[in-house]
């Protein structure tokens, strides 16, 4: 499932592939209405065709694309892309076959086609009039992006101190640590040697500082490993698992080599940890 690192790579790819390019033609799969809500596929096609791709940014798990009118007459348009569980942007040359589950296509003026592929349809492509991203509630509610702005330890410590819920669950709040999802939360808590079941409010400032560093280290490591044209998302039970503890229930802990990794369910999501290292 895409979290901050994978979405960052997707944004970098989109920027490299499309920035400054004109969208000669857009296409949207008529059956994939869920992705295009509240606009419908037809509106998506009409709005994007003829636009020039401007700035591409990422905040949390959202990719924000600014689309200019090359003639200069119309106001800019925004596109917010959220990859959901299985969304990906792929680039194909004009002669290559479309990948399976291609829900939207942008045919660019260099002959390439960008495909938005999403087998499970949990992703979203939302048009934003005037590229006023601050008007989109799920974007406006995001805290400072950890990768773009770093993590302010005092701010994070103050926010965690107000919460009696488990620290792992608190970390998933996108107002706190946008882009951090289930995988990053488990990985960072393991790196920081903090029990995921502890109350968020019980963490010392030193522990919050360690946790902030661990989040950034996990992000950097995944970006370094995955950077390339196509990102592979790791699901639980996948054969190749690059993570320290995520989806490693029953395996020996990579740090202490004595205890085995345990799984607990918190807020309906799996958490993986070493009871010895994170005691």
What are the residue numbers of the active site?
A: 2-3, 61, 269
Residue number with CB closer to Zn ion (116 or 190): 190
Tell me, what DSSP letter sits at residue 22?
A: B
| The token pair that represents 39 in the structure block | 């606009």
Residue number with CB closer to Zn ion (7 or 245): 245
Residue number with CB closer to Zn ion (166 or 274): 274
Residue number with CB closer to Zn ion (109 or 251): 251
Q: Is 193 in the site for Zn ion (CB under 5 A)?
A: no
Q: How far is the CB of 54 from Zn ion (least distance, A)?
A: 47
Cα distance between residue 69 and residue 244, in whole Å? 46
List, in sequence order, every residue forming a beta bridge with 79; answer none if it has no partner: 65, 127
Buried b (16+ CB within 10 A) or exposed e, 215-240: bbebbebbbeebeeeebebbeeeeee
Helix (H, G, I), strand (E, B) or coil at 134: helix
Q: Is 15 in the site for Zn ion (CB under 5 A)?
A: no
Q: How far is the CB of 5 from Zn ion (least distance, A)?
A: 24
Stated as kind and residue range, the H or E segment containing 169 is helix 167-171
Among 32, 176, 208, 277, indicate the residue that binds Zn ion (CB under 5 A).
277
Contact, 174 vs 182, CB < 8 A? no
Stretch that binds Zn ion, among 119-127, 162-170, 231-239, 269-277 (CB under 5 A): 269-277
User: Which residues from 235-264 bind Zn ion, rule CB under 5 A?
Assistant: 253, 255-256, 259
Cα distance between residue 218 and residue 85, in whole Å? 20
Q: How far is the CB of 189 from Zn ion (least distance, A)?
A: 12
Print the binding letters for residues 200-239 with Zn ion: x by CB under 5 A, - otherwise.
----------------------------------------
Residue number with CB closer to Zn ion (198 or 276): 276
Q: How far is the CB of 134 from Zn ion (least distance, A)?
A: 44
Radius of gyration for the chain, computed over Cα atoms and rounded to the nearest angstrom: 20
Helix (H, G, I), strand (E, B) or coil at 234: coil
Stretch that binds Zn ion, among 21-29, 85-93, 158-166, 266-274 (CB under 5 A): 266-274
Spell out the long-range contacts of 206-214 with Cβ–Cβ below 8 A and sequence spacing 24 or more. 208/153, 208/156, 208/157, 208/160, 209/153, 209/157, 211/156, 211/167, 211/171, 212/151, 212/153, 212/156, 214/187, 214/188, 214/189, 214/190
* Interface with Zn ion: number of residues (CB under 5 A): 7
Q: How far is the CB of 276 from Zn ion (least distance, A)?
A: 4
Contacting positions for Zn ion (CB under 5 A): 253, 255-256, 259, 274, 276-277
């Amino acid at each position: 499932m895409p979290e901050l690192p994978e979405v960052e790579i997707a944004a970098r790819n989109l920027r490299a592939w499309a920035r400054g390019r004109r969208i000669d033609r857009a296409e949207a799969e008529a059956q994939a209405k869920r992705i295009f809500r509240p606009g419908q596929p037809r509106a998506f096609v009409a709005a994007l065709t003829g636009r020039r791709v401007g700035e591409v940014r990422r905040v949390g798990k959202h990719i924000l694309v600014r689309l200019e009118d090359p003639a200069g007459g119309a106001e800019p348009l925004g596109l917010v892309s959220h990859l959901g569980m299985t969304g990906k942007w792929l680039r194909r040359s004009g002669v290559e076959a479309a990948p399976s589950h291609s829900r939207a296509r942008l045919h660019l003026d260099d002959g390439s086609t960008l495909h938005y592929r999403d087998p499970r349809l949990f992703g979203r492509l939302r048009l934003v009039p005037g590229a006023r991203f601050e008007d989109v509630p799920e974007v406006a509610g995001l805290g400072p992006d950890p990768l773009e702005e770093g993590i302010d330890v005092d701010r994070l410590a103050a926010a965690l101190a107000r919460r009696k819920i488990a620290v792992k669950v608190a970390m998933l709040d996108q107002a706190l640590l946008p882009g951090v999802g289930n995988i990053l939360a488990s990985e960072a808590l393991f790196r920081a040697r903090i029990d995921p079941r502890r109350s968020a409010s019980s963490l010392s400032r030193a522990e919050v500082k360690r946790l902030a560093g661990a989040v950034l280290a996990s992000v950097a490591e995944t970006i370094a490993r995955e950077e390339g044209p196509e990102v592979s998302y790791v699901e639980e039970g996948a054969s190749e698992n690059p993570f320290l503890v995520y989806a490693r229930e029953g395996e020996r802990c990579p740090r202490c080599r004595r205890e085995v990794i345990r799984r607990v369910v918190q807020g309906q999501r799996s958490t993986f940890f070493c009871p010895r290292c994170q005691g």
